[in-house]
Each structure stands twice: as structure tokens, then as C-alpha cells.
A = this chain, B = another copy of it.
């Protein structure tokens, strides 16, 4: 498969990164095509030729976002104890949510929490990805419990949901202007609920 025709004048991944930033800040529906193409440095037909349409672009952006951040996620789940898993997840989220280089909070939450019917497929995709992340935490905690790393009366599903809730809440906090130091204190408080 050799390249034919006029070569593309922009880098796909670089353009996706620019689009990511816009979607992250404004959400799926809040980001207009002029917003996106301006940030990407291309014009509309080039975007449609390369990515299909707005929704397909968003899905590719989400895919890229997840791939980038799954490393941090996987690293947290790879911690030796459940307690350290929780710590890494919460502290990592606090760090991400207060990274001045990015819009505040998590794209999976900000992307389409509420929207018009037209964006429902996108909203459901984000719901599914949040659920998948929570399920991954739950499975890790189930393993921890079977290893005796969590008390016999603890509930991995409940703990996973609690962690997800606090992480998602941090996105709202960050969107409201919470600082890194403030989020880190939230993490310390939240960890006091962890079974010992």
C-alpha cells in the first residue's frame, strides 16, 4: 500500500490533539466546527475527508484520550495493595484535574454530561467508558479481596463505585476552580474511608 495522490498537509495525531483540547474544554456540543478546524489548523473539508464527521472525530479523540490516560490508569491498578491502588487513582485524578496545561477535569465527564437528543449516542459512549473504568477498578479490588488484601466484609463493587464517585466529583470541583492543593486534601479525606 503506497501513498497516492496529494499528500496530507497536516499530521493526523497532532490534529487530534488540538481537537481533543477543544472538546475537553467545551464538550461535544459546545465545540463548533469552526472552533475545531481553527484549532486543528485545517479547513472543514479536510476534517471531513480525514475523520468522517464531527461525531467520528469525537470518537477518535476519545480513543486517543483513553489510550493516553490508560497508562496512568493501568499503573494505578498495578499497585501491589488495594490501598495503594486507591491512593494512586485518587492522587492521579487530583493531579490530572488540576493540570493547568489541560482543561479542568476529565473529558469523559465533561464531554457530554447533559445534552440534546442529537448527542445521545455520544453521551452513551461516555457513560459506557466511565462504567468500563469503574468495572476495571472493581475487578482489581475483587482480586485484592481474594488475596486477603481487603477485609472479608468489604465490597469491591461498592468501593469501586465510591472511588469513581470521588474522582468524578473532582472533575466538577476542578471545573469550579478548585486548586491542586484543595483536591489533594479531598483525596486525603476520601482515603480515610478506606478499609484497613
- Encode A162-196 as 1/0 by CB contact (under 8 A) with B: 10111111111101111000100110111111010
Given contacts A158-B185, A190-B190, 11 further A-B contacts (CB under 8 A): A26-B114, A26-B115, A113-B172, A127-B177, A161-B186, A162-B185, A162-B190, A169-B169, A169-B172, A192-B193, A192-B195
Binding site for B on A (CB under 8 A): 25-27, 29-32, 35, 103, 109-111, 113-116, 119, 127, 130-131, 155, 158-159, 161-162, 164-173, 175-178, 182, 185-186, 188-193, 195
Once bound together, how far apart are the Cα atoms of A30 and B170, in whole Å? Answer: 23
Closest to A113 in B: B113
Q: How far is the CA of A120 from the CA of B28 in the complex (A)?
A: 16
A173 contact set on B, CB distance < 8 A: 161, 164-165, 168
Q: Across the interface, do B175 and A172 meet the contact criterion of CB distance under 8 Å? A: no
Residue from B31, B32, B113, B193 in contact with A175 in the complex, judged by beta carbons closer than 8 Å = B113
Q: Which residues of B contact A165 (CB under 8 A)?
A: 166, 169-170, 172-173, 186, 190
Q: A26 vs B114: C-alpha distance in the bound complex, in angstroms?
A: 5
